[in-house]
Chains A and B, each alone.
Chain A
Amino acid sequence: MTHRDWVRLDNASNIFLAARSASDPKVFRSSAEVDHAVDPQLLQEALDETYDRYRLYHAVLQSGLFWYYLQDSDLRPLVTEDKQHICAPIYQAGRRTLLFRVVYHRRRIVLEVFHALSDGTGASWFLSDLVNAYIRRRYPDQSPPLAEATGANALRAEPGRSDAGSQADDGASDDTAEPEHGLPTDSFEHYFHHRRTSPASGSTFSRAAVPAALTIDDSAQPSSAHRATRRLHRPLKKVHQVGGTRTPDNRTRAVELTMSAAAVLDLARAEGVSITMYLTALFFESIRLSSGGLGKNRTLAASVPVNLRQFFPSTSARNFFATVRVEHTYGEGDDGLGSICKHLEGQFLPQATKEALEKKLRWFIRAERMPGLRIIPRPLKDVFLGLINRGSNRSLSVAVSNLGRMSLPEPAESHVGRMLFQVSAVRPQFCATSHAGLLTISFTSPFTETGHVKEFARMLTANEIDVTVAAERVTEAELAEGES
């Protein structure tokens, strides 16, 4: 009988479990488009290799009396054709299944992950290693010679890092050998509480690499508890909520816009702001235009996730991000795009510093460690966290996330075109990422309406930017047309 390692769920992840719903199963999708039809056989081999090196991905979710925890498993993932809609549910209560899936469709290799397992940055490491392992098999003559891989014993992945585009380390490093079955550490714990709760933790935090990407987005955020209490002291303006018609089977409405990254970067530079804030301002404008002038509540607010690995170096692939909230109220001054960008940037930068984030997270960890809260049984905690999450949802109109520029190790780099990132959504949101000079902005929404995407695209095309649209068929009419 093997003795299974386990590790407590990090604090950001607990809220994902509480905030799951039919239309937002808290799943995100990371995809890479290669230059040929994907070969499932080779992809399966590549997945086997990558899976052996990412111990975290072996985890299944178990529920204890007070908390959820991740437990090691012997399950093996299988590559399948993409037959489900985007971000279909992965975790179902009580089932011991892996918390991710790898699917393919035509030229796309797709990784879908349940958000309690990992965040966007962690998943992009897995995807880039997977794609690289696949391309090495597909084009063996173009691959650089490999050192002897240690495979299954390299428990901690050495991901191909997205900032330097460094070679993915194939486990043949001079790392200290780690114990079999170690599940990675919780970085939140490491930095903000100086205590390790995971008895099985074998990972070290030796790598001081900082992925450049901003991570993932989501409504459910570690700071929601913080904000919920802060609201008692600082009355928030009523925020405009985007409504709409729910999709017939609760699938995510996904629309992808592809364009030249350099052209959009030039637009942002012309306004003197970061590309993330420029796109957020565009998003606010498109919400305003598509809603016919916002109506009564003229404040729009966005949550923007920030990858904490930028400030607190960590090699953990588990959730390690915080969210920053920015808002703009229309009708209180200059509502031109340029001034909205600057206004947003002015709110974002001070909140996205190491000190500000640290303060926020320390508070959150303290709240989580309150003895009174800890002894509440888990099902009640779920209800409680769900309510907090609902409260924080009311203070947000949209969510925006920019993973930045991805870069893959060779030989994968030259065979991969677009890369995309999509998140199941409780409100309209987009995730941007760029690769091979192509910026993809993937809109997701629980509603069928695409008015805001139309306005967004038209604002870009008005600026002489060529935009390509791809959309998932969602309504009955669209599906009927697609099958004819």
Chain B
Amino acid sequence: MRRCTECAVDIEGTWTLCPLCGAPVAGETVPSPMPTVPLTFSRRRVLKVLFLTSIAVIAASLAGQLLLGRGPEGFGVLRSSWLGVTAMWLVVLMAIRKRRNVAKGTVYLVVLIGLVCVYWDYLTGWRAWSLTYAVPIVCASSIVALLITLWAMHLEVAEHILYSGLTVLLGLAPIGFLAFGWVTNPLAPAICGALSVIALVVLQLARGAEVRRELVRRLHL
């Protein structure tokens, strides 16, 4: 074993300088009981910075649109592309961030896409296309997609049940749009609402007990 005469200690491993005081050491080397692990640079930190910067840029872009005035006449190709790219960036970012839980990711995407569409509609002078078509169609598609995914991928139901339920509940919102008369064509919201109700009934019948157990788990005080 190597020895540091300054500290009067024996040293395991291949140190040429004493790890305590830095003085040169002498003697036979013995293998270190610990592996030498190369430095790991945290990708997480880089990703976190990128994510936060992205969110800031996206938020600034969306807010910046407001300054350029509202109404279809002020809305050229450039502004539409800008909004489109911003929205896509946001959606991709969220999809990557929530990739571990399909159902949770779906809830996030439905909410985000819905909000972006409503905002876009508002920027272009509010013709209610978002509430009439975009939001119900996104909701309805996500419900169908989720049901297929859960059935096809044999995912552990408990993990996904809560967010699946939430997605289905979001699908009920278009019924509200109908009730308040916010839409120009009742077809899409009606279909979406009906799908939600059917999905809720299916969930309740097939997995009612699990949903309740999961709620108890997640909401215990």
Contact = CB atoms under 8 A, between A and B. Distances in A.
Interface of A: 1, 3-4, 6, 8, 22, 33, 62, 64-67, 69, 71, 81-86, 94-96, 105-108, 197, 248-251, 254-257, 374-375, 450, 453-454, 457-458, 461-462, 466-473, 476, 478-479, 481-483
Given A106-B33, A470-B34, A471-B15, A450 B20 contact: yes
A468 B10 contact: yes
B39 A249 contact: yes
A257 to B, nearest CB: 8
Contacts of A257: 9
B12 A62 contact: no
A254 B11 contact: no
A424 B46 CA distance: 23
B33 A66 contact: no
B11 A473 contact: no
Given A64-B217, A453-B20, A471 B13 contact: yes
A476 B32 CA distance: 18
B207 to A, nearest CB: 8
| Interface core residue of A65, A197, A482 (most chain B CB under 10 Å) | A482
Nearest to B2: A469
Nearest to B218: A64
Contacts of A82: 34-35
A105 to B, nearest CB: 5
Contacts of B78: none
Contact of A248 (B1, B39, B210): B39
Interface of B: 1, 4, 7-21, 31-42, 45, 100-101, 156-159, 210, 213, 217-221
Given A3-B213, A461-B9, A470-B32, 8 more contacts: A33-B33, A95-B100, A469-B20, A471-B13, A471-B34, A473-B37, A478-B19, A479-B39
A454 B21 contact: yes
B19 A467 contact: no
B44 to A, nearest CB: 9
A14 to B, nearest CB: 13
Residue of B8, B12, B31, B41 with most chain A CB atoms under a 10 A cut-off = B8
A479 B38 contact: yes
Contact of A468 (B9, B35, B217, B221): B9
27 contacts: A1-B210, A3-B213, A8-B220, A64-B218, A64-B219, A65-B218, A82-B34, A84-B37, A249-B40, A249-B42, A450-B20, A453-B20, A454-B21, A457-B9, A468-B12, A469-B7, A469-B11, A469-B12, A469-B19, A470-B13, A470-B32, A470-B34, A471-B19, A471-B20, A473-B37, A479-B38, A482-B14
A43 to B, nearest CB: 16
Contact of B220 (A69, A71, A461, A481): A69
A420 B141 CA distance: 56
Contact of A470 (B12, B38, B42): B12
A450 B19 contact: yes
A470 B30 CA distance: 11
A-B pairs, top 3 by smallest CB distance, nearest first, are A471-B19, A454-B20, A461-B8
Contacts, number: 128
Contacts of A374: 221
A4 B35 CA distance: 38
B191 to A, nearest CB: 30
Contacts of A108: 33
Contacts of A94: 100-101
Given A105-B33, A249-B39, A479-B38, A454 B7 contact: yes
A3 B9 CA distance: 56
Nearest to B216: A199
A468 B11 CA distance: 6
A57 to B, nearest CB: 20
A467 B41 CA distance: 34
A71 B217 CA distance: 10
B9 A476 contact: no
Contacts of B32: 470
Contacts of B33: 33, 105-108, 256, 470
Contact of A65 (B17, B38, B42, B219): B219
Nearest to A73: B156
Contacts of B11: 468-470
B188 to A, nearest CB: 32
Given A83-B35, A468-B12, A255 B19 contact: yes
A257 B8 CA distance: 12
Nearest to B34: A472
Given A64-B217, A85-B40, A467-B9, A105 B34 contact: yes
Contacts of B218: 62, 64-65
A256 B20 CA distance: 11
Contacts of B42: 22, 249-250
Nearest to A247: B39
Nearest to A71: B217
B166 to A, nearest CB: 12
Contacts of A85: 37, 40
A472 B13 CA distance: 10
